[in-house]
Chain A
Amino acid sequence: DARVTQTPRDKVTEMGQEVTMRCQPILGHNTVFWYRQTMMQGLELLAYFRNRAPLDDSGMPKDRFSAEMPDATLATLKIQPSEPRDSAVYFCASALMNTEAFFGQGTRLTVV
């Protein structure tokens, strides 16, 4: 059963700490998206990769956020230092070329 796997599912951290979220895309998919969802802003595109190369990360606060794909089976999103306004659900999604994007279960981040 192919699925996008995100870890952790829930994360509570103190302001100023580093947070790392991980995503394992579906095997064979070459496009990976990172989204942030809040009640106020909806589903915001933070960054996306094609064949592990970053194509657009303009939606991401550069001073504290970074996204990478160390290899084809792992995508990471890091926040350093974290702030309370970063509290949200972070979704990873993967797709093969321009077809349907499949979403992971999300990481619920709470920064206190």
Chain B
Amino acid sequence: QKEVEQNSGPLSVPEGAIASLNCTYSDRGSQSFFWYRQYSGKSPELIMFIYSNGDKEDGRFTAQLNKASQYVSLLIRDSQPSDSATYLCAPGAGSYQLTFGKGTKLSVIP
């Protein structure tokens, strides 16, 4: 059974700080990794994806992948109150079965 583990939080950070969100997964066949953001009462939306080991940066967001450790993380620099949401990690298997973790709730305090 494919498992995805995330710290449920809530994770509270002050405005302007770096928020660090972590995810571990059990399926070694996972090739692609997606981070989604979900605001309360809304549907999930993609903010980052990563396929290769190492770091991928997009604006204030950096995704980090370590396939050997089966670990993927998301860093949010200069956190803003508008970043307050639940962040969902989703490793994609070879057959593209997209399984989500339960998410980490982030609160950015002004």
Decide if A and B are genuine partners.
yes
The residues of A that contact B103 with a CB separation of less than 8 Å are 42-43
Residue of A98, A104, A105, A106 with most partner-chain B CB within 10 A: A98
At the interface, yes or no: A45 with Cβ under 8 Å from chain B?
yes
Interface residues of A in 41-88 (CB under 8 A from B): 41-43, 45, 48, 50, 55-56
Minimal Cβ-Cβ distance residue in B for A31 = B96
CB of B101 within 8 A of CB of A42, answer: yes
Count, chain B residues at interface, CB 8 A: 19
Q: Which residues of A contact B (CB under 8 A)?
A: 31, 33, 35, 41-43, 45, 48, 50, 55-56, 91, 93, 95, 97-98, 100-106
Complex A-B: 20 CB contacts under 8 Å:
A33-B98, A41-B102, A42-B88, A42-B101, A42-B102, A43-B100, A43-B102, A43-B103, A48-B97, A48-B98, A55-B97, A56-B97, A95-B98, A97-B96, A98-B92, A100-B34, A100-B46, A100-B49, A101-B46, A104-B43
